[in-house]
Structure 1
């Protein structure tokens, strides 16, 4: 693992020119102290890595140094050619360019690794769509894409809001088959907008200064964690048996917090957190006699009432 990390450090410095130890640590998902030890080891081994002090400082390679480590291994080649982002590229209008780039890249791959690329394309497909999904890309996605590329403001009308707001688009995120716009409002507040809920978007020529410290990946990770923590707020304790235990893993906007092994009769205890009492009731009623609500008592009573009403009306 350390040898791979040392190679990654060299390649990152060659690609980006200068990076701080903190930036390297974040990209490599290790501590800054670990990166510092790795940089010292590279320097001791004769690699021309240098530290520049000051506010604009960081670590860099000698200007004339170029590594020969950029050749792709068979496994790395296969990873590049797995078809996992076709719909994303199509939505952005980059599918044709991606095909050309793929052909150019494949032409540079050594013959012994090219077969791995062909195998990856022929035998692995990542489909992000849900079953029975029909979806058209938002007509506003090209407007947002240009604004993100050019650092220009956009006037958005979102959801049921009566007026448009001016935002500074910072990035686009594809989550499964949905697009999200991460933007900054005039107040400095960062907001996330689901693109298919945008009613109208007008591009402008008004340029803005992109925040130097903004990192889209890090921002989205924090946003997702916060969203999920706020979403899950209805804890329940259940007893389930058989296939119901598997179906609980499919529940949307819910998470299994703890689960015991099945007893001799096939029943297991499960602790879960759902989004709301209503969502919980709707999902658990579909499991019929394979689930027993232990807690909370009001959910148990609510499910009894719902089942009684259903029987009375059918």
Structure 2
């Protein structure tokens, strides 16, 4: 739109100083003739914009003409640019919107704060997905985001983990959450939580829904995680840890993290930790090798003992190294 383009020209000149018509046209992806008309429109609107002829010429704003954001500290300016994660914004279809917003904020900052903000991009990079995690395809994410913005009812085909796996659902999407590189939509009635990558098909209804008064997405997500973890980690194990060893599951559960233990004379520490199941804990504890000893429950200790015995039998007499 022309109005948005005029603002972009103003902000580009305010941020970069003198720019030629060709440079502006390339930046805005329009013709040089369009830039000439836009510059004329800005001048008619009273913007003190001047054109210099010659090889080093170009358009520039009158010195001192700028719109500034006041009251920002250096730390606040840095946080604004750090919070603008380009990956998630692009997935939501808002990549260009984020870039435009950052340009506007940067142009409005005083030079000293702009320097602080520019430093963030070169020193911090946000990468949400975990290691070894396969990137999930979320083709319906922009449509879900649009429904969230506009209170549109969605009818979706959804794949869940239990039978029947493929079901039909009517969703009133209240909000989106990005957790460890995976998108979730919180939707009514309920509300309930759905993985966006498990949506098989989607139809946006013409009907609108009324968002519940006082619904707090952040508060809901905090409570949802706490409830999920409490349901997931229902059992406990007592283990001995070698000095310096940290449990892989420690700190995962709100309110049920590794309990205070005691240190024995040999430096090992006895602690009680929540576990999801014997199968899950068996795999987690084996990763620590000789740095952990399971004391309780008996079935977990016996399971690990059988695995260790099997490994000892397998590796105790390697092929090709038998007795003469």
TM-score (norm 2): 0.68
CA distance in 2, matches of 1:133, 1:163: 26
How many residues were matched structurally? 243
**Which residue pairs with 2:183 in the alignment?**
179
After superposition, give the CA deviation of every residue in 1:105-152 in whole Å (9 maximum; x if it has no partner).
011111221121122222122322222333144111122112111111
> Structure 1 stretches (4+) deviating beyond 4 angstroms?
249-255, 259-264, 310-314
Query: Which residue is 1:139 aligned to?
Result: 139
Match of 1:291 in 2: 292
Structure 2 residue matching 1:119: 3-state secondary structure = helix
The answer for the alignment partner of 2:87 in structure 1 is 87
Deviations 1:217-254 (A, max 9, x none): 121121111111111112111111145x2353579779
Question: Does the Cα contact within 8 Å between 1:84 and 1:125 map onto a contact in 2?
Answer: no
1:51 alignment partner in structure 2: none
1:258-269 equivalences under 5 Å are 258-260=259-261, 263=264, 265-269=266-270
* Contact 2:237-2:297 within 8 A present in 1 as well: yes
Alpha-carbon separation, structure 2, partners of 1:114 and 1:126:
20
Structure with higher Rg: it is: 2
Give the alignment's TM-score, normalised by structure 1: 0.70
The verdict on how the C-alpha distance between 1:122 and 1:235 changes in structure 2, with shifts beyond 3 A counting, is same
Q: Which residue of 1 aligns with 2:211?
A: 210
- CA separation in 1, counterparts of 2:105 and 2:292? 53
Q: Tell me how far 1:308 sits from its aligned partner.
A: 3.0
Query: Kindly tell me: are residues 125 and 69 of structure 1, through their superposed partners in 2, closer, same or farther at Cα, counting changes over 3 Å?
Result: closer
Contact preservation (8 Å) 1:259, 1:268: no
Tell me the equivalent position of 1:25: none
Could you say if the C-alpha distance between residues 155 and 310 of structure 1 is closer, same or farther in structure 2, counting changes exceeding 3 Å?
A: farther
For residues 133 and 83 of structure 1, do their structure 2 counterparts lie closer, same or farther at Cα, with a shift above 3 Å needed?
farther
Q: Does 1:119 align with 2:123?
A: no
Aligned 8 A contact 1:238 1:291 in 2: yes
CA distance in 2, matches of 1:163, 1:261: 50
In structure 1, the partner of 2:194 is 193
Change (3 A) 1:84 1:286: farther
Compared CA separation, residues 108 and 84, structure 1 to 2 (3 A): closer
User: Which structure 1 residue ranges, 5 or more long, are not aligned?
Assistant: 1-67
C-alpha displacement at 1:310, in angstroms? 4.2
Q: Point out the more displaced range, 203-212 or 248-257.
A: 248-257
- Residue in 1 aligned with 2:305? 304
Is the alpha carbon distance of 1:295 and 1:136 closer, same or farther for their aligned partners in structure 2, counting shifts above 3 Å? closer
Q: Write out aligned runs for 1:22-37 (5 A).
A: none
Give the SS at the match of 2:246: helix
Q: 1:83·1:121 contact (CA, 8 Å) conserved in 2?
A: no
Shift, 1:261, TM fit = 6.8
Please report how far the alpha carbon of residue 306 of structure 1 lies from its aligned counterpart in structure 2 after TM superposition: 2.7
Aligned twin of 2:154: 154
Query: Secondary structure of the residue that 2:90 maps to in structure 1?
Result: helix
Shift of 1:180: 0.4
Q: 1:253 to 1:304 in 2, by over 3 A?
A: farther
Structure 2 unaligned residues grouped into runs of 5+: 1-67, 316-324
1:281 CA drift (Å): 0.5
CA distance in 2, matches of 1:270, 1:86: 42
Computed over aligned residues only, the root mean square deviation of the Cα atoms, in angstroms, reads 2.6
Alpha-carbon shift at residue 163 of structure 1 (Å): 3.5
Q: Secondary structure at the match of 1:206?
A: strand
